[in-house]
Amino acid sequence: MDKLFTSTDGVEIAGHLARPRIAPGTYVPALVISHGMPHLRQGGRLSAKSFPELAERIATEMGWMVLVYTFRGCGESGGDFSMLGWRDDLLAAASFLRSTDGVKGVWCAGLGTGGALSICAAGIDDGIRGVATLGAPADFDDWANHPRRLLQHARDTGIIRSSAYPASFDTWAREIREVRAVAAIEALRSRPLLVMHGSDDESVPVFDARVLADEHGEADLRIIEGGGHQLRHDPRAVAVLLGWLDRQRTLTASERTG
């Protein structure tokens, strides 16, 4: 991945932009894909490593412009992890993609933490046309109740690289409770939302998916029977996502002709 855009605090964000084959002057829908919190066995360095392949598939087979990137502290991106910092990175990604030639409308899809943050970002940016989540938590209260544990996890996975970071632990910890998908979802009620979750998710209870869907009111709720937290690697989940994206493109086309 290459450095593509700059987020808040001047943090440079690395990503990969998959472009479909389109004629000059043609506009296509665009998708921002956000990864989740890295596991110890993966580490922040490997975050979203396999995502460019998915992005190219969506671009080639479905004609979408697709941006995959790594949050600050992850992969080749600069900076150190914070909850508001990650949310701001997602907002910057949507803004970057919206300004790209040939883009007509931006949607977001996120896995785990990236899914929750996609909802939070869309609650701020009404230019995000719709959101798809895979294994997203309704809130981060479990982390907020044990912020030092999360801080240690961030250090162990390498998404906090500076020994002097954060400058204020209390401020850093407070952000965890401030970012809540279930609170932000009210602003999305007029926009499409796909909530996907594995029935056997070992990291985020399936109850969170039902909470998010109920709060939205008209969400497309899909429970993948026997699915775990890593739905990115479940072909059934990928098929559901691709089908949802196809419907979004169809609706967008009907808006232009209607």
Residue 14 has which token pair? 């690395």
User: In CATH, which of 1.20.120.640, 3.40.50.10680, 3.40.50.1820, 3.30.9.10 is domain 2-257?
Assistant: 3.40.50.1820
The ranges assigned to domains in the chain are 2-257
* DSSP 8-state symbol, 135: S
Q: Which amino acid does the sequence have at 167?
A: A
**Segment holding 116, helix H or strand E:** helix 113-124
Q: What is the pLDDT along the chain (258 residues), one digit of tens a residue?
A: 889 999 999 999 999 999 999 888 889 999 999 999 998 765 666 666 789 999 999 999 999 999 999 999 999 999 999 999 999 999 999 999 999 999 999 999 999 999 999 999 999 999 999 999 999 999 999 999 999 999 999 999 999 999 999 999 999 999 999 999 999 999 999 999 999 999 999 999 999 999 999 999 999 999 999 999 989 899 999 999 999 999 998 887 766 544
Q: Which amino acid does the sequence have at 163?
A: S
> Residue 44 and residue 14: Cα distance in Å, rounded?
13
Q: What is the pTM of this model?
A: 0.94
Beta strand segments in 143-237, E: 193-198, 220-224
